[in-house]
């Protein structure tokens, strides 16, 4: 059989970090080891039953067996606008400031293709979600990395970024609550971001995937709550984390109308339309009681508290995340993050994601997901306590 060579565009894509991590973990499982997988970012709770029932009913509707409108049903976009008003007191025009997305990742990868020409520059957090780099590579754009350091609350320090890099930047990615660090942003930081954007004409894309998950009584804020944010950027919100709908692939972008228009145009050519029953389920999620979201948040906070307390008690000094469903743990001396992750997988069969997979400034940390039951977290702590490095 003839083998066709991949395009240079595909060859330029970065390695899929999560795919390689899953392969390594699965190799241990296939050999019969009981692996406690704390390296994943896949919600472990079921989608609320009311959302499932909405999908089931909508799937029976003949209208949903046909193509839905290319850009989504108007009542879903209205529900998104009402959700943002209810949750963040942000006003949105559902026709011009909302775009339905085929999952949050799709939107994050699409935006560089929508707004950039080859050779233009994107500012990217380091450490950060690796798939930001995928869209940048497809757009044949360049990157300027923004270090996220613990001493600055894992927020980029704009004063440390060279003026020449700010001048050439066209796009900036931010993400709070943050993956992988679990940090949250302040309104003052977002206000500073808006000022920087206006000064240097940078479009800001805020990845708000973990917007529903904040701890210690702190509700994460939307970037669009900053004065003038809608003028200079967009926010991407996914139902994957808020409503445990990761496999449903439904999200949305909100904010600057010119960016929303570009996303819609791109998607007109790439897709036909999102399955109507999925849209109806998303409508239900956004408009009905948010009690399930509150319970989910309480569950993650309980898991966080048990994990952090247990790790500190065995001698691993770590700090608690402020949001997201991840903990960002500084590793013991004498290891790289990859070496430490491999050591844990090999010796006590616990999977954690090496910080180096999230960027240069992720070195020295591992990312742990709060996505397994309490008894498994406690078992992980017991296994770790047997290691000589914590004695």
Q: Are residues 27 and 60 in the same domain?
A: no
Q: pTM (2 decimals)?
A: 0.96
pLDDT for the residue numbered 315: 93
Q: Is residue 92 part of a domain?
A: yes
What's the whole-number mean pLDDT along residues 162-186? Answer: 97
| Token couple for 178 | 């943050």
User: Does one domain contain both 93 and 16?
Assistant: no
Q: Are residues 166 and 116 in the same domain?
A: yes
* In-domain check, residue 3: no
Residues 6+ apart with CB under 8 A from 111: 135, 171, 205, 234, 253, 259, 263
Asked if 234 and 299 sit in the same domain, the reply is no
pLDDT digits (tens, 9 = 90+) for 51-82: 999 999 999 999 999 999 999 999 999 999 99
**pLDDT exceeds cutoff 90 at 155:** yes
Same domain, 33 and 79: no
Tally of CA atoms within 13 A in the half-sphere of 136 that contains its CB: 23
* Percentage of the chain modeled with pLDDT above 70: 100
Q: Which of 254, 271, 287 marks a domain boundary?
A: 287
Domain C-terminal end among 235, 262, 287: 287
Q: What is the pLDDT of residues 233-292, one digit of tens each?
A: 999 999 999 999 999 999 999 999 999 999 999 999 999 889 999 999 999 999 999 999
For residues 283 and 297, membership in a common domain is answered with no
pLDDT in the model for residue 261: 98
Last residue of a domain, one of 287, 321, 346: 287
Q: What residues make up the domain containing 95? A: 49-287
Asked if residue 106 and residue 29 are part of one domain, the reply reads no
Predicted confidence (pLDDT) per residue in 224-236, tens digit: 999 999 999 999 9
With respect to residue 93, please indicate whether it lies within any of the assigned structural domains.
Answer: yes
Q: In this predicted model, what pLDDT tens digit does every residue of 282-319 receive, in sequence order?
A: 999 999 999 999 999 999 999 999 999 999 999 999 99
Residues 296 and 201 in one domain: no
* Residue 1 in domain: no
| pLDDT higher than threshold 90 for residue 102 | yes
* Structural domain total, the chain: 2
Q: Does some domain include residue 219?
A: yes
**Is 154 a residue whose pLDDT tops 90?**
yes
Q: What is the CATH number of the domain that holds 36?
A: 3.90.1150.10
Residue at 2 is within a domain: no
Confidence of residue 86 (pLDDT cuts 50, 70, 90): very high
């Amino acid at each position: 059989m003839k083998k066709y060579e991949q395009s240079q565009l595909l060859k330029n894509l970065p390695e899929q970090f999560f795919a390689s991590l899953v392969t390594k973990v699965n190799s241990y499982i296939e050999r019969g080891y009981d692996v406690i997988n704390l390296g994943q970012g896949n919600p472990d709770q079921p989608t609320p039953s009311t959302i499932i029932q909405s999908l089931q009913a909508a799937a029976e509707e003949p209208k949903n067996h046909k193509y839905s409108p290319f850009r989504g049903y108007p009542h879903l976009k209205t529900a998104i606008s009402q959700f943002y008003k209810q949750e963040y007191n942000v006003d949105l025009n559902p026709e011009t400031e909302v775009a339905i997305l085929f999952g949050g990742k799709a939107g994050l990868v699409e935006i560089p293709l929508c707004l950039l020409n080859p050779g233009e520059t994107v500012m990217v957090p380091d450490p950060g979600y690796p798939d930001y780099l995928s869209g940048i590579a497809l757009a044949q754009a360049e990157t300027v990395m923004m270090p996220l350091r613990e001493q600055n609350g894992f927020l980029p320090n704009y004063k440390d970024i060279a003026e020449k890099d700010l001048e050439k930047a066209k796009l900036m990615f931010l993400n709070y609550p943050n993956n992988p660090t679990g940090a949250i942003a302040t309104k003052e930081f977002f206000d500073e971001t808006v000022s920087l954007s206006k000064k240097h004409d940078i479009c800001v894309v805020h990845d708000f995937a973990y917007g529903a998950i904040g701890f210690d009584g702190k509700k994460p804020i939307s970037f669009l709550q900053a004065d003038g944010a809608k003028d200079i950027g967009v926010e991407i919100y996914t139902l994957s984390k808020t409503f445990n709908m990761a496999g449903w692939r439904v999200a949305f972008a909100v904010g600057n109308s010119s960016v929303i228009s570009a996303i819609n145009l791109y998607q007109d050519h790439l897709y036909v339309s999102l399955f109507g029953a999925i849209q109806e389920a998303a409508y239900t999620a956004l408009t009905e009681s948010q009690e399930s979201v509150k319970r989910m948040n309480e569950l993650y906070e309980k898991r966080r508290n048990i994990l952090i307390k247990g790790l500190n008690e065995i001698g691993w000094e770590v700090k608690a995340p402020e949001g997201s469903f991840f903990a960002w743990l500084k590793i013991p001396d004498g290891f790289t993050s990859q070496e430490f992750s491999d050591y844990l997988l090999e010796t006590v069969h616990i999977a954690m994601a090496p910080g180096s997979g999230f960027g240069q400034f992720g070195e020295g940390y591992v990312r742990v997901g709060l996505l397994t039951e309490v008894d498994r977290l406690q078992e992980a702590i017991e296994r770790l306590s047997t290691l000589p490095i914590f004695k």
